[in-house]
Structure formats: structure tokens, C-alpha cells
Structure 1
Amino acid sequence: KNASTSLYGNIVALDESPLQQGLLYVGTDDGLIQVTENDGANWRKISSIPGIPELAYVSHVEASEHDPNTVYATFSNHKMADFKPYVMRSTDRGATWTPITEGLPENSPCWVIKEDDEKQGLLFLGAEFGMYFSTNNGGKWTRLKGGLPTIAVRDISLQRRENDIVLGTFGRGIYILDDYSPLRNLTDDALNSEAHIFPVKDALMYIERTDRHIGAQGGSFFTSDNPPYGAVFTYYIKDSHKSLADLRRKAEKKARKDGGEIDYPDMEELRAEHDEDEPFLLFTVTSESGEVVRRLTAPVKKGVHRIAWDLRYPDLSPLASEKHLTRSGLHVLPGTYNVSLAKFDEGEWTQLAGPQGFTVKPLDNTTLPSTNRKAMVAFQKKAAQLQRSIEAASKTVDETAERLKKIGYTLRMTPEADSTLLATHTELTDRLTALRRELRGDDVASKHNANQKPSIANRVGLMMYQMTATTSDPTAEHQEAYNIASKAMIEFSEKLRALIEGELEPLERQLDEIDAPWTPGRLPDWRPR
């Protein structure tokens, strides 16, 4: 006796029509579907459905969300070593049935079927090796992957408020597809276009918490990743980019198949392949007034993809590497925005899709909400520009220090360098050190844990750190810190510019005059003598 096998005669599927009270469907483990239209007072037995093997397990019944006469059912005959998909639709409450299995693999038993509550004809199917969807009442099924492994999907729940699909799998946990609403707009026109941006769900603005406080729980603590924060753009690209090398290899493969000659590319063709720039997609987010607030990039790959904007302006810090292209600054204002899609290829922009409008809404659950959000964002943008200038000045100080360091080495080894040049170098180095301490603080005092006045960078850095993690108005202390730092930065910039342009660059020209070895910052100027 197999203890895990149910006894025949059990009801294993049940559903009630959401459109007509008293209309219920049940399915059993021995292939029967029973229908009642009066709350169970009378039942009508369906014992034979053309195309369905006798005693096949009724894995699910689903009353239509849109038509009281339509019902869907899935069957599994795996107990009889039959692994074919059995999915049926009836439009007369079970009197007659039509198979809807086009596009399903031949060896995939089906376990559950669900119908979207908004768009008629949009169906979801859980099968032994994955999940499928159909936009035409089951006329054609398409595999829905999105990171879902090859696994048995035994149950599906459609979360109506957020439009999420929740999947229950056999032994592999729960999977969630966030916001499946783009599937409601998956039309032939969209799929035949070069690119398409689907309607964008309203984006909630708040300060995202990133720490989970795992503590000492170790491996017993597990949470899945949260959905991407911000506005999520779902888009479709008809074709992937084919590089010159891809096209050449494709032509070579065809020639090899057809028995033709394969031409080896000449050096100009190889050079063109080597120098070819990779095209990319550019998403441009604009405000209602047309101001560009953010740009996002993505590779040109066919299919349906997603990219998220975190509702923030770009980071204004100096760009250290390509990774910093995705760094973000402060939050934008709530309101209406648009996103458009373009492609950059061979030095030209091509507009592909959009603009698609969407709304950014504040969550408004803060203890101290801003009384004037527009003024708050305006101050934050002004402060971010000040921080941009400070960080640029800090980088300039470091690069200038490196130039002076190399100049010092060069002067020591150049026979024509006199004591005047060495003295000038020492004076500039000392003045630059004083400027660095004015901008970033006294490193010697910090090393000895001594008190010191806040530096320009310290004032603004602390202010920006505090404003990045709040949606409250800037405090009076923030306003004062900005005013002090802004005034000090004006004076500092003038002194730094005078040192570099007025004294360092003339010193570098003198190095050229005495044929000193090259140092960073000097442009070689060759003239035969």
C-alpha cells in the first residue's frame, strides 16, 4: 500500500464562481467533475470528457472571472505513466469541453490554471517543469521564465492589489513575480514594434531600509530580496544587437553549410570589428515640465526586460569608474514624470519608444513630514551642488599634490635645476598642505585626537548624510552649515586656482625650459633643435 497515494473518491479541487452565487465546481482524484448551480442542493456529474483519460486526477478547476458560463480544468494522468498536458476549457458550465494545450511540451503534466481578473483571456498555468501564460484564452501558451528554475508549479495566487503572481512549487519554496500587469498590454502591435515601454505602475517614495539585523541568527535567518525600489520600467526589445563580428561569423557559418568559400577578413575589417563601440539603450526620465532628471542605460537585448529608477537625481560625486554611473543622489519631488527609450549606435541616437507617463507618490508615513517639499528639494539640490564642488576641489588637491611630488623628484635629479626652483617647489607644497587641511581638516590633529574646527568638507558631508536619509525639512543648523561652507568655499577656490594657474603651471614651464624629465600635467612639445 502506498501511503502517500490518495484513495479514489476524494475531492481534490474546488472553486466557486465569482460572478454567480451558488455555482460551484469540484474535481476528484478519479477523474470526475461535479457541478452545482444552487449551492449544492443538486449536483451534475461529468464523468467523461473527450480527450481526457479515464480516472485522470483533476488537479484544478477554475471558474472564469469574466463569464459565468466558462470554466477551466487541468488534469494529471501521471499515475498511469502518462505525462501529457491535459488542460480544458468549457463555455457552457461543463457540458462540452475544448482542449487548450497549444505550445505546451508533450511531457509536462499540468497542476493549476488561473485567470486574470482584469483582462479576459489572460491565463496562467502551473506545470511540472515551469509556468506558462496565454493572452488568448489558452489558444497559445508561452513559457514565463524571469529567473524561475525548471520546477513543478503546484499552486498560483494572483495578488490583486499589487498585481503580483505568487507561485507555490514542489519542494523549492515560493516564487513571486512582481507586477505582472505588463502582460495585459502584450499585444501584437507591441511585439511587432522595434521597442515598447509598457505602462508604469505608480511608484511609492520613501527612505528604504537596507539593514536586516541578522545578529546571531546565522543560517536560520532567511529573507528573500525585496522588489526593486522606485519606478520599475518594463520594456520590450524586438532584436538583439548584432556586431560586425557576429554578422561575419553568421555569414561564415552559412557559407560553410552551403559548401561555399569562406573569405578571411582583411585588416580593415578586423580593425573595424575591434574599434566598434557597443550600442546601448538610454532611458530618459523627465519631469512634467520637461526637465531631464535621470538617465539609465541598459544593453540591447531582445525580449522583455525591466530596469528600475530609484526616484533620485544622479550622484554628483567625481566619477571614479563605470560602476559609479548607477550611483544616486537625493530624492526628486513627487509628481508626474515621463520615461522615453532611445538607442545609441554608431554615434547616433534613435528614438525607440515613449514617452510613457507615470506618477511618483510619497508614502507619507513619516513622523516629521516636510511642510514644503518643493523648498526642501530645492535646498537639497543647492547643497548637492556645493558638495560636488567640494569633492571636485578635494580631487584637484590630491592630483596637484601628486604633480608636486613628481616635480620634487625631478628637480633633485635634473642638473640644470637651481635652488630657486627647489625653494619654489617647497613653498607650493607647504601652501597646498595648508589648503588641504582647510578643506578636509587637520590630519595631524586627528591623528593625535585633538579638537579642531569643522572643515568645509566636514560641515557639508555631515549635512548631506543627514538629508539623504530623511524626508523632513532641512534644519536651521543645516542652513547655517550651508552658508558657512559656501562662503568658505568661494575663498578656498580662489586660493587653489591662484596656486595652480598662477604658480604651479609657470613652474612646470620652467621645467620644460631646463629639459627636465616629463611630469604629470605637462603636455610634451617637441621641436627639433
Structure 2
Amino acid sequence: YHSYGALFSIAESPLDAKVIWTGADDGPIYVTRNGGTSWMNVTENFPAGTPTYAVVGEIEASNFDKGTAYVAYDAHTREDHKAYLYATNDYGKSWFDITGDLPPGGSSYVIREDPVNPNLLFAGTEFGLYLTIDRGHHWLQLKNNLPTVGVRALAIQARDHDLVVGTFGRAIWVTDIAPFEQMNERVLQQPAHLFEVKPGVLFKTRYTYGATIEELNGDTFFRAENPPFGTAITYYLHSDSGQEVSLIINDSKGNVVRTLKGPGSAGVHRVNWDLKRQDKVSDAVAERAGVTTLSEREALDWVAPGNYTVRLNAAGLSLKNPVVVQKEAAGVKLVPVRK
């Protein structure tokens, strides 16, 4: 293995532009607190056994504390395939191991801190994506339809509470992390919990006038799969309920506009509401099917913009949360990284 003494990772504190961290491909980590006028080598402050000769795969500066940062060391080029994750709360004067119960095999490439919950961290390893809600004591692998693959890059879209996952050869993936931002030990001890629901946005998903783009381009046209239309309702069950659970949508007057069913097994579940009033196509849609475009037809069964309530009936509890249905925004609002 050849190292070049080159910087491999750099992180600027979102709280103070003068606090900058750097990590090199041969291990050293430096920090400056005065915008680069002077630098401090903090490499020797790691606990014994840290591969401080390996690649600094990622440095993450905290969103909550200027002196806090996270490091992922990648030692696979040194024939060491363990994960190595660390954190500091004092500008690198001391570091502690947060690898926790990550699997012993699987090099660590990247670590990210959630911008809402300081105890929520995400890590990308050779064998997938992991998260912790207790700042590294215990880790859980996120799988579902995400393949077992090396996760080399992570980015958090703070406005939309989404995690973007970059893999080695298996595409880019996006998932909603808002429920994890709300998760803690108190929530996990409850028989059931209904997480806050993101607003649902009404918009036409496609316009069809004559031939479609797919018909014109044939198999030369590529389009990635979009997320389900509507809004996701996420809930947690501590134990198996033995049957499906009910999710009831009410309008502002208390009228039931939709009833959904969800899994009753223990764990975290997500059910999508497509912002429609009922499961089947309405008579109004059927009557106009021959004189409307596909995008207009699907809109006829949408609920009106406004305030709604979703209620979860499970584990002997009835839990409810508000959900807002909005019109499509007229434009894009730019949010500055730092005010």
C-alpha cells in the first residue's frame, strides 16, 4: 500500500467557520480553531489500538457543539477489515471509541451526525448502512430493500429529513429519517408509538398527451423509481399484536376519509397514504375516464388541501397526529447553510 501524505477528508464546523478538521490518507488528523493560522495535531490522542496509520475516511464536524467531531478510519488497504469509529468533545484533546457493537468485519468508510438529534449517527461500512440512537453504544443495520453493499458516501438533506446513501456499484438510495430523529429509549419502551407525519404535497405526477416518452424512446429511456406519491405514516410496535393495525385518516370536521391497514408485528413500520379518499376509483373518475388525461384522472380522488388527523389503533391504544396536505409549491426556497 502506498500513501501520499495527502488530505483525504476535511470538515468545517457549521457553528464556527474558523474550526476546521483535516485527515490524511496516512492517518494524521489536525484541527485549527483560528481559521488556519495555527494547527494542532491530535492524532496521538486516540485510544490504544486505533489504526492512526490508516486512511481517515471521513471527519464529521458536529452540528451542536464546536468541539465535537467524529472520525471513521478505513484500514482495509492495510489488510485490516474492522470498523473504527471515534468521537471527541474537546477539539481532539481526547477521543473515545464509538464502534460499539458493529460487526467485527466490514471496514468503516463514512460517518454522519443527524442535524436534529445529536444522539443519532449514521455509518457506512463495507457491508451496509448502520445507525445508532445512543451515540455509538448500539448500532442497527438498515436493510429492507437496500442491498448488502459497501456504503461509501452519506449526505443528509436537512430540509426534507432525508438520508442520501451512495454505494459502491449499486446506485444511490434515499430514505426518510424523520422517525429516527424522534426515536429514543422512552419511545422504544412504549407499547406503540405514532411518529410525526410529514406534509403531503398534491402534484401531478405525469402529463400524457398522445405517445409517452417511454413509447417514443423505447428501451433507450432510463428513469429511476420515484418514492411513493403522498406521505408516509410511520409507527412502532413493541410487541406482536397478532393482527393488522388500523390507520384512520380524518378531516378537520372529524369525517373519516380513508382507512389503511398496516403490519401488526413488532418493530418499525411504514404505510403510505396516497392522499386519496378511498381505495377504489370513484364514480366521478370512471365517468370522466374517456375525456381526461391520466394525470387529471388520478387527481379527481385526491383530498382537498387542509388539515387532517391520522389515528393509530394498536396495542390497546389510540394514538393520533396531525398531517397537513398542501398544494404544490410555486417555487423553490433557498435556505442558507449558515446565517
In the alignment, is the contact (CA less than 8 A) between 1:196 and 1:353 conserved in 2? no
Among candidates 58, 62, 65, match of residue 63 of structure 2: 65
Distance 1:219 1:28, change over 3 A: farther
More helix per residue: 1 or 2?
1
Residues 261-272 of structure 1: pairs in structure 2 closer than 5 A: none
Structure 2 equivalent of residue 222 of structure 1: 222
Query: Is 2:157 aligned against 1:193?
Result: no
Shift of 1:101: 1.1
Q: Which amino acid counterpart does residue 235 of structure 1 have in structure 2?
A: Y
State the alpha-carbon separation in 2 of the partners of residues 116 and 309 from structure 1: 26
- CA shift digits 1:335-389 (9 cap, x unpaired): 111111225xxxxxx75342111111112659xxxxxxxxxxxxxxxxxxxxxxx
State the alpha-carbon separation in 2 of the partners of residues 220 and 316 from structure 1: 33
Residues 409-424 of structure 1: pairs in structure 2 closer than 5 A: none
Distance 1:339 1:364, change over 3 A: same
Distance 1:52 1:351, change over 3 A: same
Query: Is 2:38 aligned against 1:42?
Result: yes
Q: Which amino acid counterpart does residue 14 of structure 1 have in structure 2?
A: I
Among candidates 113, 116, 128, match of residue 114 of structure 2: 116
Among candidates 133, 154, 157, match of residue 155 of structure 2: 157
Structure 2 equivalent of residue 94 of structure 1: 92
Shift of 1:54: 4.2
State the alpha-carbon separation in 1 of the partners of residues 42 and 74 from structure 2: 17
Partner of 2:277: helix, strand, or coil?
Answer: strand
Structure 1 equivalent of residue 178 of structure 2: 181
State the alpha-carbon separation in 1 of the partners of residues 218 and 99 from structure 2: 46
State the alpha-carbon separation in 2 of the partners of residues 286 and 83 from structure 1: 52
After TM superposition, the score normalised by the length of structure 2 is 0.85
State the alpha-carbon separation in 2 of the partners of residues 169 and 6 from structure 1: 24
Q: Which amino acid counterpart does residue 240 of structure 1 have in structure 2?
A: D
In the alignment, is the contact (CA less than 8 A) between 1:195 and 1:353 conserved in 2? no
Q: Which amino acid counterpart does residue 354 of structure 1 have in structure 2?
A: L
Shift of 1:87: 0.4
- CA shift digits 1:29-81 (9 cap, x unpaired): 11100111222221112333223124111111111110001111010111221
Q: How well do the aligned residues superpose, as a CA RMSD in angstroms?
A: 2.3
> Structure 2 regions of 5+ residues with no counterpart?
284-297, 332-339
Partner of 2:187: helix, strand, or coil?
Answer: helix
Shift of 1:150: 0.6
- CA shift digits 1:148-196 (9 cap, x unpaired): 111111010001121111111111111111x211111112232222222
> Structure 1 regions of 5+ residues with no counterpart?
243-278, 319-326, 344-349, 367-529
Distance 1:94 1:364, change over 3 A: closer
State the alpha-carbon separation in 2 of the partners of residues 42 and 25 from structure 1: 12
Q: Which amino acid counterpart does residue 191 of structure 2 have in structure 1?
A: E
State the alpha-carbon separation in 2 of the partners of residues 138 and 165 from structure 1: 18
Partner of 2:37: helix, strand, or coil?
Answer: coil
Structure 2 equivalent of residue 133 of structure 1: 131
Structure 1 equivalent of residue 289 of structure 2: none
Distance 1:328 1:365, change over 3 A: closer
State the alpha-carbon separation in 2 of the partners of residues 240 and 6 from structure 1: 53
State the alpha-carbon separation in 1 of the partners of residues 27 and 3 from structure 2: 12
Q: Which amino acid counterpart does residue 284 of structure 1 have in structure 2?
A: I
In the alignment, is the contact (CA less than 8 A) between 1:57 and 1:76 conserved in 2? yes
State the alpha-carbon separation in 1 of the partners of residues 13 and 302 from structure 2: 46
State the alpha-carbon separation in 2 of the partners of residues 59 and 191 from structure 1: 32
State the alpha-carbon separation in 2 of the partners of residues 224 and 8 from structure 1: 38
Structure 2 equivalent of residue 16 of structure 1: 12
Distance 1:240 1:219, change over 3 A: farther
Among candidates 293, 301, 319, match of residue 257 of structure 2: 293
Residues 327-342 of structure 1: pairs in structure 2 closer than 5 A: 330-342=301-313
State the alpha-carbon separation in 2 of the partners of residues 335 and 54 from structure 1: 55
Residues 81-480 of structure 1: pairs in structure 2 closer than 5 A: 81-177=79-175, 179-209=176-206, 213-241=213-241, 279-314=243-278, 315=280, 330-343=301-314, 351-363=316-328, 365=330
Partner of 2:180: helix, strand, or coil?
Answer: helix
In our comparison, the structure showing a higher alpha carbon Rg is: 1
In the alignment, is the contact (CA less than 8 A) between 1:131 and 1:145 conserved in 2? yes
Partner of 1:331: helix, strand, or coil?
Answer: coil
Greater RCO structure (CA 8 Å; 6+ sep): 2
In the alignment, is the contact (CA less than 8 A) between 2:281 and 2:301 conserved in 1? no
State the alpha-carbon separation in 1 of the partners of residues 201 and 64 from structure 2: 31
Q: Which amino acid counterpart does residue 39 of structure 1 have in structure 2?
A: G
In the alignment, is the contact (CA less than 8 A) between 2:13 and 2:63 conserved in 1? yes
State the alpha-carbon separation in 1 of the partners of residues 223 and 145 from structure 2: 17
State the alpha-carbon separation in 2 of the partners of residues 232 and 155 from structure 1: 25
Structure 2 equivalent of residue 25 of structure 1: 21
Distance 1:62 1:214, change over 3 A: same
State the alpha-carbon separation in 2 of the partners of residues 174 and 40 from structure 1: 34
Structure 2 equivalent of residue 55 of structure 1: 53
- CA shift digits 1:100-144 (9 cap, x unpaired): 011200012111111111222211111111111112222222112
Q: Which amino acid counterpart does residue 160 of structure 1 have in structure 2?
A: A
Distance 1:216 1:334, change over 3 A: closer
State the alpha-carbon separation in 1 of the partners of residues 68 and 306 from structure 2: 42
State the alpha-carbon separation in 1 of the partners of residues 207 and 299 from structure 2: 15
After TM superposition, the score normalised by the length of structure 1 is 0.56
More strand per residue: 1 or 2?
2
In the alignment, is the contact (CA less than 8 A) between 1:214 and 1:221 conserved in 2? yes
Identity of aligned residues (%): 35
State the alpha-carbon separation in 2 of the partners of residues 135 and 207 from structure 1: 37
In the alignment, is the contact (CA less than 8 A) between 1:341 and 1:351 conserved in 2? no
State the alpha-carbon separation in 2 of the partners of residues 132 and 310 from structure 1: 29
In the alignment, is the contact (CA less than 8 A) between 2:58 and 2:73 conserved in 1? yes
State the alpha-carbon separation in 2 of the partners of residues 226 and 54 from structure 1: 42
State the alpha-carbon separation in 1 of the partners of residues 132 and 109 from structure 2: 16
